[in-house]
A and B are shown apart, each in its own frame.
Chain A
């Protein structure tokens, strides 16, 4: 049995003040100094801790970043003077897709590498758009689940990138079918390039080392590569159109990415000539027509991997009524099955993958693996405040971060995502992420459940 995939982690505390959801506790006038709030009501001892913290403060800070929102101090205050509200700084983080809750949970995972666990039930909307409109299935009694997270059973999360053999044939004891090169990584995740707006002095170095630590692959623009050769096994160059191919470095890599273009086939041949053992991914932006282009490319004998990329919120780029990444992936996946070529293509999907459940759901919808970038940036305490412009101050001071801090936080986040992937796969009874690909039987979709349940009872849905 191969060695189990395990990511070494250690806690990496934040360097910026935390931003709590319930960050504002306001004293109105007339405090009796009874200290009820301090001594009795706050079971977390936050008041005292914060007082000590403020006393030793060397930087500007906000009060009560770790308030748990239990209302105990508010309700036990002798004179009823305390008032709590949602921290406006918390509310203004991110956007409607990358919500403050997503940012907060990402920070927590980047700090601790632990799976977020909480009490009480689910607190959110019944369903939502995108990935929130589907549920993963689980096993009950007659289908065995897998106890992977506690280590009693091994759940494989490794995937192969490239063209798989459609069948085996032997000539004597030798394989008679020409096998295309394959790249195996232990987790269905690749780190994608960050947008130019997020270019930071050390970012590529941090990402490259994170890829090494987690044994996955990071896509880095060949023009920006300044790392060391020892990292190249975990690097996939993105070689833009017209750019010179870095031949020596390329020969030490396993995967490379090129943009889709009219000359893509020639470019593939050019790269294969330099390094026949390399796997080539073609990046297809999911603009209008992107889905059809991806399907068309897949029919080509030369193309091994297609990397479809939606916008950061998972939407079709530039479309007036954009489709979501999961729906576009299902469409492509289904089309490739119908054409009988699904296994001759590896489908990587990126854009809108914000939480570990998105990884599992996107794979269920047909991707072989996913690509991420923004969650790793958030791991560095980015607020997604969109202030990454010359002259603007980054609240997370990303331009000054230490490489060890950055690598540690990103590694922790990837480890936490891996553990959560194992959790949901265990619940589904899946032992291999490769078998999860396109297995929509292990998922339930909002529109189907609504139709089967309420459609029969109440007719047509109003917003259809």
Chain B
């Protein structure tokens, strides 16, 4: 509870003993970066080095390669398959150590890997997936020589067309360790705990059912290590999550699956999910195949049937109704902050202000291009606006209403990189919620099969006990810890270039952004 600063006098006045904090001893998870290599035998590479029969096994390639692509194991007569994922490709020609050029027998060829073209999509190109894997493996930014485009995707709009306008040199020189990336989640000053998280992001809701318990626990442990949060999603609260209670947000959504007063009392933040960006207006949907005995027990449902969270909350048709919900949670858990997760309709700004007036601490807006365990394809692309449009209008409306500094604005729905985080903050958010990127760190290739049959073939978004064993908790935790570390480095690097000591200084600084499709001439004297 080191990050929880609670005014003593106030807390005693308002908090009954049993809800002051979780009763379960909290487990420590250290924030240490350790290498966590891919759990697959063959890593996906951009380039392939092909060795033909002219190879005389002279070892020149292994001698010149700086990246360890060529391996001749001691005692072996033949080279092992080249470690293609370590190869930097044609860029190596400039190093003077290009194995293809140095091979005295002309036995090596470099080719683009046809496999790479099958990886990824517009929003998550292969480059971004491989770069995220690298970050999750090393905890660091991918080396420049690999040429990975890890700042944005290739969707042709939104974040992918926004760039920062950096000064030629930083206005002040600030050491990286002096830069503060923490944000506050309670700005209301209402006597409830003033929770700060060390990075301006936390993990999005993924229910047990949509993902495995290994995935949920990995996320929770990483959140603990980084003093941030993860969210249970709407599928119940695993007992195994309890040692991380202080870093868990539990979700109350329309199906109320697994929601009990006791689970609400475990956590420092409770999230009302009114809608989800990937399927706004449609509610949740867990297909029958993923409703295993374990899932059904947690959700108190019948095994094997599809589970729908209806839309909307049929008890909420006004802000006043919403306030009753919030009052209920605040009464049940007197230390909890309330987050309200909504999607991005045209009147999202009004909804945000209404939600603030109802008593929420965090307004969480989830844009139309967010992730999901299962959603109708028609919903993913067509309903509600992308988050890039929503952030600015909500930020401005909250400011115009004079309440911007009394509520935390969190954005989600397509945050894929540290640059996306920074752009969202520059547009006006305080922080972001991430989801898909954590799964990519765990090895997701975005094949979109989370929902069908036994679920994710990679063992991430599955409830199948056998598939879930493809990954272990320690490895999963480390991958996410590493990813967070790499992202924080990128973010700190950005803030250094702007001469900012805190990420909070970046909020709403649209003057630092430019758009590749615009003249960027606003405010320029002609």
Contact = CB atoms under 8 A, between A and B. Distances in A.
B117 interface: yes
B13 interface: no
B518 A423 contact: no
Contacts of A119: 372-375, 448-452, 456, 461
Contact of A76 (B42, B285, B375): B42
Contacts of A55: none
B383 A138 contact: yes
A44 B464 CA distance: 13
Contacts of A22: 118
A318 interface: no
Interface stretch (A143-151, A204-212, A304-312, A342-350): A143-151
| Most chain B C-beta atoms within 10 Å of own C-beta, residue among A22, A139, A152 | A139
Contact of A428 (B81, B161, B281, B519): B281
A426 B280 CA distance: 10
A150 B385 contact: no
A70 B454 CA distance: 13
A70 B518 contact: no
A16 interface: no
Nearest to B451: A119
Interface in A121-155: 121-127, 132, 135-142, 144-145, 147, 149-150, 152
Interface in B286-336: 287, 308, 310-312, 316-319, 321-322
B374 A457 contact: no
A121 B369 contact: yes
A144 B317 contact: yes
A320 interface: no
Interface stretch (B2-10, B234-242, B339-347): B339-347
B375 A117 contact: yes
Contacts of B378: 115-116, 355-357, 420, 423-424
B282 A123 contact: no
A195 to B, nearest CB: 27
Contact of A139 (B115, B281, B379): B281
A149 B160 CA distance: 35
Interface residues of B, number: 103
A463 B518 CA distance: 8
Contacts of A460: 518-519, 521
Q: DSSP class of A's interface residues: helix, strand, loop or mixed?
A: loop
A78 interface: yes
B382 A136 contact: yes
B81 A74 contact: no
A463 B278 contact: no
A132 B282 CA distance: 20
A123 B414 CA distance: 10
Contacts of B43: 75
B445 to A, nearest CB: 5
Nearest to B160: A126
B305 to A, nearest CB: 13
A124 B41 contact: no
A86 B376 CA distance: 24
A328 interface: no
A457 B391 CA distance: 13
A86 B115 CA distance: 8
A351 B350 CA distance: 37
A45 to B, nearest CB: 10
A458 B448 CA distance: 35
A458 B519 contact: yes
A453 B520 CA distance: 13
Given A116-B377, A117-B374, A122-B381, A83 B522 contact: no
Interface in A400-448: 420, 423-424, 426-429, 441, 444
Contacts of A126: 122, 155-158, 160-161, 369, 386
Given A75-B40, A126-B155, A121 B123 contact: yes
B518 A461 contact: yes
A458 B514 contact: yes
B450 A120 contact: yes
A121 B457 contact: no
Contacts of A457: 392, 510, 513, 515, 518, 522
Given A83-B114, A84-B115, A459-B519, A142 B319 contact: yes
Contacts of B343: 138, 140
| Most chain B C-beta atoms within 10 Å of own C-beta, residue among A141, A427, A459, A461 | A141
Nearest to A86: B118
B259 interface: no
Interface in B378-409: 378-386, 388-389, 392-393
A426 B377 contact: no
Contacts of A72: 40, 457-458
Given A142-B317, A453-B393, A122 B311 contact: no
A202 to B, nearest CB: 31
B157 A70 contact: no
B447 A70 contact: yes
| Most chain B C-beta atoms within 10 Å of own C-beta, residue among A145, A150, A360, A463 | A145
A125 B122 contact: yes
A70 B351 contact: no
B122 A123 contact: yes
Contacts of A123: 121-124, 446, 448
Contacts of B522: 456-459
Interface in B502-526: 510, 513-515, 517-522
B515 A127 contact: no
B453 interface: yes
B81 A80 contact: yes
B117 A141 contact: no
B222 interface: no
A449 B348 CA distance: 13
A138 B81 CA distance: 53
B287 A117 contact: yes
A374 to B, nearest CB: 18
Contacts of B29: none
Nearest to B308: A150
Contacts of A76: 40-42
Contact of A141 (B316, B369, B374, B393): B316
B275 interface: yes
Contacts of A70: 445, 447, 449, 457-458
Shortest 3 CB-CB distances between A and B: which pairs? A119-B450, A126-B157, A427-B281
Given A77-B41, A126-B156, 16 more contacts: A76-B42, A85-B115, A117-B377, A117-B451, A118-B451, A119-B451, A119-B461, A123-B121, A125-B156, A127-B157, A137-B384, A140-B342, A150-B308, A457-B513, A458-B514, A460-B519
28 contacts: A71-B115, A71-B447, A72-B40, A75-B38, A76-B40, A76-B41, A78-B41, A79-B81, A118-B374, A118-B377, A119-B450, A120-B372, A120-B450, A121-B369, A122-B381, A124-B122, A126-B122, A126-B161, A132-B381, A138-B275, A138-B345, A141-B316, A142-B347, A420-B376, A453-B393, A457-B522, A459-B518, A460-B518
Interface of A: 22, 42-44, 68-72, 74-80, 83-86, 105, 115-127, 132, 135-142, 144-145, 147, 149-150, 152, 355-357, 360-361, 420, 423-424, 426-429, 441, 444, 449, 452-463
